[in-house]
Amino acid sequence: MFSVIAQMAFTIGLGVLWRHIEFGGLSADRARVALTTSVYYFFLPALVLAVLWRAPLGADTLKIAVSAAAGVLASMAAMFAVARWMTLTRGQFGALLLAASFPNATYMGLPLLASLYGDAGKSIAIQYDLFACTPILLSLGIFLAARYGQHQEVIHPVKSLLKVPPLWAAVFGAALNLSGVSQPDWAAGFLDRLGAAVVPIMLLALGMSLRLATLSPRHLWKVSPVLVIQLLFMPLVVLAVATAVHATGDTRVAIVLEAATPVMILGLVFCDRFGLDTEMYATTATASTLLVLITLPLWHHLLV
């Protein structure tokens, strides 16, 4: 586990380095947009289709989705409760609500589980995100972001879901799998080749997204409840639910590790889009990403 975390940390570090040295004359933000766009539209859908087409789908799929949804909704409720004792603007509360509720299940969870469990780990990470986190984010998450933000956009959650290429890939992959259609060798080779680009690009982009300058004591103190919810409360809830639905072995460990990943980096886009406090969200995302380099090995040690 420590070796896996170290490899991920070094790759993330290359992205952080890019923020200080503009390789090829490209700023980290410009390069990150190009990289993540290519992942979103090409590489990740290919990986999702390849993995779900040949993954064993069944009772564990429901266990993963139920556990993930419980973690997101319980953490959201916890943030609503904690916020009653905090002095926050609407924009700050909206940002912290998103930060507390949604883990970085794909950008960090997928590389982590892929390194630990191979294709089985990739399948769990994809199901955790696309069958629970993403639908909640693009429905309830967008609704709450719009409610607490300042914007003029008309929100259509269903249209938002229909515009997610990895989600379509998940639907097609699961349909082909459950229909008993075998994956041809040429398709497996093509999809695996594209999908292999996902992990290093996502970790590099994650490093490019970190904003170390926001880690001031004042900001860290204000976001500390979110860090507790995201890195401690959510994994405990998911562990309890996964145990209750009889998830066992590596599947149970992987589900909890997904919940223990840091704050979702994609939330920065939602903060900008809906007029939430982007700086506060960036502080939470950066601090949680640094902290999981310690907390993830601890969770793994406790679970195995």
User: CA 81 to CA 207: how far, in whole Å?
Assistant: 32
Could you give the domains of the chain? 2-303 (1.20.1530)
Burial 47-78 (b: 16+ CB within 10 A, else e): bbbbbbbbbebeebbebbbbbbbbbbebbbeb
Instruction: Let me know: does 98 contact 271? Beta carbons within 8 Å.
Output: yes
The DSSP secondary structure of 174-199, one letter per residue, reads: HHHHHTT----HHHHHHHHHHHTTHH
Cα–Cα distance for residue pair 197/192, rounded to 1 Å: 9
The per-residue pLDDT for range 41-89, each reduced to its tens digit, is 999 999 999 999 988 888 899 999 999 999 999 999 999 999 999 988 9
The pTM is what? 0.88
The pLDDT value given to residue 291: 94
How many Å is the maximal CA-CA distance in the chain?
A: 58
Of 298, 253, 290, 291, the closest CA to residue 2 belongs to 298
User: Per DSSP, what are the bridge partners of residue 263?
Assistant: 103
Percentage of residues of the chain with pLDDT beyond 70: 97
Alpha carbons 148 and 156: distance in angstroms, whole number: 16
**pLDDT (tens digit per residue) in 243-266:** 999 999 999 999 999 999 999 988
CB 265 within 8 A of CB 292: no
Q: What integer is the mean pLDDT of 105-117? A: 90
Instruction: Name the phi and psi angles at 152, rounded to 5.
Output: -115, 10
Confidence of residue 219 (pLDDT cuts 50, 70, 90): confident
